[in-house]
Amino acid sequence: MASAPSRDPGALVLGIETSCDETAAAVVADGHEILSNVVSSQVADHAPFGGVVPELASRRHLEAIVWVVQQALEQAGKDLNEITGIAVTQGPGLIGALLVGLGLAKALAWARALAIVGINHLEAHLAALRWAEPRAVYPMVALLVSGGHTCLYYIPAQGQMELVGQSVDDAAGEAFDKVAKLFGLGYPGGVRISRLGAGGNPQAYDFPRPMISSGDYNFSFAGLKSALVRFREAHKGQPYRLEDVCASFEQAVVDVLVAKTMAAAQHFGAKAVGAAGGVAANARLRAELGRAAKARGLSLSLAPVELCTDNAAMVAALGSDKLRAGERLGLEAEAVSRVDSSGGLG
């Protein structure tokens, strides 16, 4: 008897993402066509605390995950029987949160005998560059800026990446979130600060640009946050325009991110620069990267704004590539909270 033709595991991938405070599932065809992309945000649950509460995140993921996966299949018009492979975020992230997605993904893969692959959340953010306009060109230097990470990668060709710099303390998104909390602007801070900052003068205050001339590709944002703490104390009882503070703070972060990205691009002889991750949704950063790239004759690839913050489409798309390359996750595999020194899951 002839055996059934083996299916391409990357043809129709279900992606699952639960690394932080978004419960997300998506169905992606051929690593590119997004058939559905469902994100259930917990932002409102964490807002009263001014940041993500890990235990609460795990509980909310557990409540939402089955419904979110069902929605992703329904919106894609696909049945679980048609899915050819599963991609799930394995790390880095909050362990209890990751375990919820990983547990469901493993159970589905086991029950349906589906190919499954574990995904590095940081690599998934960069994978969103496949949807950039204009198309990504290589070699590229890519900036990954999120709530948990600020990293620079040298990407000689799609699918290869070398970590060349990262924050030695707070991530850029973390700085946005902490400064927003300091000024009572709520969580998540990035969106609130950039909304207020849009109406402010970015030159009003000369906040520090930490490590801008350090000669390497690392970042530091803890000192900038402390400068804002001192500013607030020094201006107690005095009037100031919060719009100007937000714009000036945002400008300081953007100046450092752009300067380091351009320095790395020059050093590595890149033809293009790219940006992905939650903070890459920031309009000022996108505009300034655009200006700086143009001035240097570099191509610019930005992840689409709606795919900058956490989602499972980026996980499914990267999963498709990896499943096709033969990568698999063992059903005994664990969630990984932190990346190793090379940026991998170890």
Residue 233's alpha-carbon distances to 182, 221, 228, 230, in angstroms, are 11, 19, 9, 5
Amino acid at residue number 230? R
Residue 287 or residue 331: which is nearer to ligand KG4 going by CB? 287
Q: Which residues bind ligand KG4 (CB under 6 A)?
A: 20, 146-148, 173, 176-177, 188-191, 194, 277-279, 281-282, 309-310
Residue 188 or residue 210: which is nearer to ligand KG4 going by CB? 188
Q: Answer yes or no whether residue 123 interacts with Zn ion by CB under 5 A.
A: no
Report, in Å, the least distance between residue 83 CB and ligand KG4. Answer: 25
Report, in Å, the least distance between residue 343 CB and ligand KG4. Answer: 14
Report, in Å, the least distance between residue 186 CB and ligand KG4. Answer: 11
Q: Answer yes or no whether residue 146 interacts with Zn ion by CB under 5 A.
A: yes
| From ligand KG4, Zn ion, none, interface partner of 65 (C-beta below 5 to 8 A by class) | none
Residue 100 or residue 227: which is nearer to Zn ion going by CB? 100
| From ligand KG4, Zn ion, none, interface partner of 210 (C-beta below 5 to 8 A by class) | none
Pick the binder of Zn ion from 174, 244, 288, 310 (CB under 5 A).
310
Q: How many other C-beta atoms lie within 10 A of the C-beta of residue 320? A: 27
User: Contacts with Zn ion: how many residues (CB under 5 A)?
Assistant: 2
Q: Answer yes or no whether residue 22 interacts with Zn ion by CB under 5 A.
A: no
Report, in Å, the least distance between residue 60 CB and Zn ion. Answer: 17
Binding site for Zn ion (CB under 5 A): 146, 310
